[in-house]
Structures are given as C-alpha cells and as structure tokens.
A and B are shown apart, each in its own frame.
Chain A
Amino acid sequence: MIRIAITKGRIEKDMCKLMRACGFDVEPIENKGRELLIKTKDDIEVIFAKANDVVTFIEHGIVDIGIVGKDTLEESDFTDYNELLDLNVGKCYFALAAYPEYRNKSFKRRKKIATKYPTVAKKYFSKLQENVEIIKIEGSVELGPVIGLTDAIIDIVETGSTLKANGLEIIEKVSDISTRLIANKVSLKYKSEEIYNLVDKFYDKIKKE
C-alpha cells in the first residue's frame, strides 16, 4: 500500500485525468464527497490537502508520495525530499509584474514588492543585488500596485489575463512552474518498487504526449 497526498483544486483535477489515462482506478476519487482519506482498487490511499500541507506530510513521512506545484516547493524551507518527476501539467511561471512605468522609473527609496512567495521574491532580488521591501499578501497580489501599496508584484502567471485587466505588465519572467511528484526519502527505500511503478506509468504517459 502506498499513500499519496494530492494538492486540492486544479492539481487534483489534472492528477485525476493523468491517473485515469494511466489506467488507475479513479472512481472513488471522483465520488469522494466529504471523505478526506480515500482508498482505491490499486491499493493506493489518497489524501487531499493544501499545497503546503502536502510538503509537511512528506517531511513527517505520513505519506509516501506528494503531488505539489514547484511554486510551493520553491517557497518551502524543507528540502530533504526526492523530487522524482516533473508531471508536465499545471504549467505556469513566476513573474515580476507592474505598471509599464515601472521599467523606466528611478526609485529614491527601496522598491516595494507584494507577493505570496516572500522566499522566491527575496531570492530573485538578491540575485539582482537589489534591496527591496517585501510585503506578504494572502489574497489577490495584483491589488498591491492597484491600491498603491507596492510598486510591483512577484506572482504566478498562467494566462496573464488578471494582470492585463488591471493594466499590469510582465516586467520579467522569474522561473517556470509545473506540478511535481515528490517522495519521502525513507519511503523510497522501503517502497521503491511500488513508487517507481507509479512513476514509470506517469513517465510513459507524459513522454507520449
């Protein structure tokens, strides 16, 4: 038996599709109702959780496999996991975005940056050797420049339509994001056959596409 934690929401949908395409039993997942822990016919237990919790469960060995976005992994301070496979779904990217004036404006103070990902933002600006003030926003990060709280944002961009609707532009792409399959390091020692069996099926499917 292996236990998988899948990030709720869009990753969950992508994952369901991928599992079905690989011939796994997804019926109990699709009809899960309010159940938190679901067993499938393939001897897999599935938990649905918020992205950061998926990483916490991997850290504590509560689950063997986690399905989580690269954005969450980049922000997390826990790094001692195996990141076996890029599932090639949920593709988007981190970007620095602002009003067009940002490009040519000279700042007489530290720039203010709104983000949900302070670690990613800090890393980006330290590479540029620039000191900025980072303000963590929990909801719509785009609000930062719109309400005049910050000069720019670092956020995930999928289609860019929210940015556009608010007059914001991508100043620079920071890094690519997609959904990853991660594993607890000790689980991989004890359940390597089961874990790699799953990995191989996903791998073959991804390569065909």
Chain B
Amino acid sequence: MLDEYSFLIPEESNGVIIQNVKELRGVETKLREVFNKYEFNETLIPLFEYVELYKRVYTNFDEEKIYKYIGQDGKVIALRWDFTIPLARHYFSQHTEEIGRYSYFGKVYRQEKSYKGRNNESYQAGIELINNPGINGDMECLNMLQEILPKLELKNLKVELGSAKFFNRICELTGNKQKLIETLNKKSISQMEDFVKENNDLNDNLKLLLLKLPRLSGSLKVIDELLENIDDEIIKDSLIELKNIYDKLKNKENVIFDLSMCPSMEYYTSLMFKVYSPYSPEAIVSGGRYDSLYKNFKKDVSAIGMGFYLNNILKAIEKEGEIND
C-alpha cells in the first residue's frame, strides 16, 4: 500500500522541473560557450563542505540557512552554500602564481522559511577569475558578461555598477559601518537624516554627501558631478576607477551606477555589479572584485567573480514570454 508520502514532496524541494529543463540547458549552453571561449576551466565542486570553511570567511554568517549534519569525523558538514569559497580554497591548494580561470554550474542549498514562495535549492552558474588584478581582470569579466547578456534574449536589462572601495571609504570616514550598511541597504532617506543628526561632528562636506547618498544613482552624470565636488583622494580614486571601467565597456547602453550599493559580501574590495530584468524581483546576475577574500587563506591574491542566478533568469524569460505573447 502506498501512503500519502509516496506522492508528496517535502516543502524544501523544488519539484521535478520538466517544462523548464530545455530552457535551462539552453541558457547553460550559451553561458558555457562564452566561458569556454575565454578559456575558463569548468569545475565540479563537492556538495559537502565543512561549515568551518564558510564561517572562516563570513563573519556575520547566517548559520540558520545552512543545511547541515554531523559527519563521520564528528565535524559539522554543510550542503554547498556557495561556489566562491570552495574555489578559492582550490586555487590556494594549487600553490600557483598563474591566473586561475574557473567556471561552475550547480545548485546551492539554503534553508528558507516555508510557504513564502522561496527556493531552498537554487541553480547557479558563474566564473571566478583569480590573480588578474585591476582593470584588466574587471574588463575580462565585464566583457564576458556583455557577451552573454544579449544571448539570454531578455529585453530591457540594466547593468548596474557600484564600488566597494567608495563604500568602505565612506564607512571609514564616518566610523560607523554597521549603521551605514543598514541605512544604505534600505536606501532610507529618513534613517540617513537621523544618522547625520547623531553624528553632528562630521565635516559639512561629508554630511552633505551622506544626505545625498541614498539616492545617488543613475547615469554617468552622477559620477561626474560628484567628482567635481569631492576632495577626498580615496573617494576620487574609486570614482575614477568606475569611470575608467565605464569608458572601456563595449556596450554603454543600459549601464547605470549606484553609489549606495552595499557590498553583499564583506570581502568585496572595489568593483561590484548587478544585472536586473524588469521581470525578476531580484537581480539575475551579481558579481564583484574581492581582493581580500584570500587573506582568509593567508594569501594576498586578487580575484573577481560573477554568479548567474538561473532560477531568476528562467523566471524572467518565462514571464517576459507571457507578457509579450
């Protein structure tokens, strides 16, 4: 006799997707073609990792979200939570000074609340470009991105650039990183006003900049205008860096800036970017330079990476199709 559990799938499960598999493989193929063209080595990353690996890198790690169990050696094992950290470890174990080019395709597992329409297993693809510092590496990554995006056949995509260097400098100048992350992540005008009131001893120029910051996004004009009014050398540097990157982009259409973009990972050091579709409620691609990640492995190596959120991409393709039918 079959009981009801022979028919049901657990709440965590995404279900068997048949109708989408063809589209998924199609998108994968397009990504793989470009990854291969740029000579990235495809990797297959293990599903099981020590929780310690992630904890060592992410100080504010949300352990609740990890699927975990006690392994044979009594240590806590996590289901793969991301690809960047395991690939960093892999590069480190190679004891090489050469440029590392890795690509990956696979699922990551994060425990989400039930009945919210969220994914516990989500499919990601991406690349890590290791030891190709500065604008060379940035452009290699962004050129790949700009080669891939038109192939996705999604309309009206926006590529958004931000700078962790800019953000970190503002934090340094104000001396209250935690509060600033809270405020800027929410782009809260009211909270920023309170923050400036509470920190009345900051210099007037900085206060003016802070008040503008939640809304400091848009075209290149935003960068140019700020460059004229800013004295701080590090802020200037970070803006010129962004401008240089923009100048070198092959396709400048639909590229926007967001200076209030907060580093989603604390290891980001300079360029950060996101890609949006009007048909996805979250970004469909996210990436950035993370030159300080490798310090966790006692190594001073620069790296940049980007991840494609395939669940979001597929949903956007589906929704765009429905609306334009």
Contact = CB atoms under 8 A, between A and B. Distances in A.
B189 A85 contact: yes
A1 to B, nearest CB: 13
Nearest to A185: B282
Contacts of B72: none
A90 interface: no
Given A56-B116, A77-B113, A186 B217 contact: no
Interface in A170-209: 184-186, 188-190, 192, 196, 199, 203
Contact of A190 (B117, B215, B278): B278
A196 B215 contact: yes
A82 B276 contact: no
Interface string A75-90: 0011111111110000
Interface residues of A, number: 24
B186 interface: yes
Given A186-B283, A189-B276, A192-B217, A81 B190 contact: no
Contact of B116 (A78, A79, A184, A189): A78
A10 B177 CA distance: 36
Contact of B282 (A86, A186, A188): A186
A205 to B, nearest CB: 14
Interface string B267-310: 00000000011101111000000000000000000000000000
B146 interface: no
A190 B276 contact: yes
A151 B215 CA distance: 46
B281 A189 contact: no
B138 interface: no
A61 interface: yes
A188 B187 contact: yes
Nearest to A81: B186
Nearest to B218: A192
A41 interface: no
Contacts of A185: 282
Contacts of A190: 156, 158, 276, 278
Contact of A85 (B190, B218, B282): B190
A189 B256 contact: yes
Interface in A33-70: 56, 59-61
Given A59-B281, A192-B217, A84 B160 contact: no
Contact of B187 (A61, A77, A82): A82
A185 B281 CA distance: 7
A79 B113 CA distance: 13
A203 B189 contact: yes
B116 A186 contact: no
B311 interface: no
A36 B281 CA distance: 22
Interface string B198-230: 000000000000000011011000000000000
B278 A83 contact: no
B190 A86 contact: yes
Contacts of B143: none
- Which of the listed residues B117, B187, B191 has the most CB atoms from chain A within 10 Å of its own CB? B187
Nearest to A82: B187
A60 B186 CA distance: 17
Contact of A186 (B190, B214, B215, B278): B278
A206 B280 CA distance: 33
A186 B191 contact: no
A203 B34 CA distance: 47
Contacts of A79: 185
B113 to A, nearest CB: 6
A186 B274 CA distance: 11
Contact of A189 (B113, B117, B160, B214): B160
Contacts of A59: 116-117, 281
Contact of A86 (B117, B187, B191, B281): B191
24 contacts: A59-B116, A59-B117, A61-B281, A78-B116, A82-B187, A83-B186, A83-B188, A84-B186, A84-B187, A84-B188, A84-B214, A85-B188, A85-B189, A85-B190, A86-B191, A186-B276, A186-B278, A186-B280, A186-B281, A186-B283, A189-B158, A189-B276, A190-B156, A192-B218
